Amino acid sequence: MVHRFIALSLALAFAATAQAADKPASAETAAPKVDAAKGQQVAAQICAACHNPDGNSAVAANPKLAGQHADYLYKQLKNFKAEGGKPAERNNAIMGGMVAALTDQDMKNVAAYYASQTQKGEQAKAQAVEAAQKLYRASDVARGLPACAACHGAAGAGIPAQYPRIGGQFSEYTEAQLKSFRTGERGNDPNKMMRAVAAKMSDVEIKAVSDYVAGLR
């Protein structure tokens, strides 16, 4: 009888433990929600000096963050940070220092804040429109070059969580990134997609496309 009681007690205890494990996390243990207001506070302290408070940088070397997809911004911040004894996936001494003290939640908050801002676009250079329009909108099958618009959209708005907004970005910054992809200096693109594309583009084509997308809205 005693043995049966002990066995029954153990079975009930095990069942209770398993049931508790299956329950969804409570409000106290659930992951905190993204808070753009807190992101603004962090951005003001760490990001604004280079990217401006609203994410519309005044210097072409520093990309515009305003209106960029939050998921993309979060991924870039994560990629700049060296963690677990491993080097950063995206190597940049300045950005590496900026994100070093940021928590994962800080990065999500900052990304949400800048995503909520309105981008102030650039102007396309007239000479770039005709040269780049076909390359941007139509694929070059013979060279294995897909149309830029296939991933980034006709207006350069991109696709959230997959492809970044490039319309309205500084042409100088876009050009620099394409060249970095081409040399392999930047390698945080999924499945080496951008490296494969940029490797088939000439300097003239990269500049033309960069000048063109600057004027997209």
From first to last of the 217 residues of the chain, give the pLDDT tens digit: 444 433 434 343 444 444 444 544 454 567 899 999 999 999 999 999 999 999 999 999 999 999 999 999 999 999 999 999 999 999 999 999 999 999 999 999 999 999 999 999 999 877 768 879 989 999 899 999 999 999 999 999 999 878 999 999 999 999 999 999 999 999 999 999 999 999 999 999 999 999 999 999 8
Q: What is the DSSP letter of 163?
A: B
The architecture in CATH of the region 36-115 reads Orthogonal Bundle (1.10)
Instruction: Please count the residues of the chain.
Output: 217
Q: 98: burial class by Cβ within 10 Å (0-12, 13-18, 19+)? A: middle
* Residue among 14, 11, 10, 34 nearest 22 (CA): 14
pTM of the model: 0.85
Pick one of 3.30.930.10, 1.20.1440.230, 3.20.20.140, 1.10.760.10 as the CATH number of 126-213. 1.10.760.10
For residue 140, the SS3 value is strand
For residue 132, what are the CA distances in angstroms to 30, 87, 140, 142, 158?
Answer: 48, 36, 12, 17, 18
φ, ψ for residue 86 (rounded to 5)?
A: -100, 145
* Region(s) of the chain under CATH 1.10.760.10: 36-115, 126-213
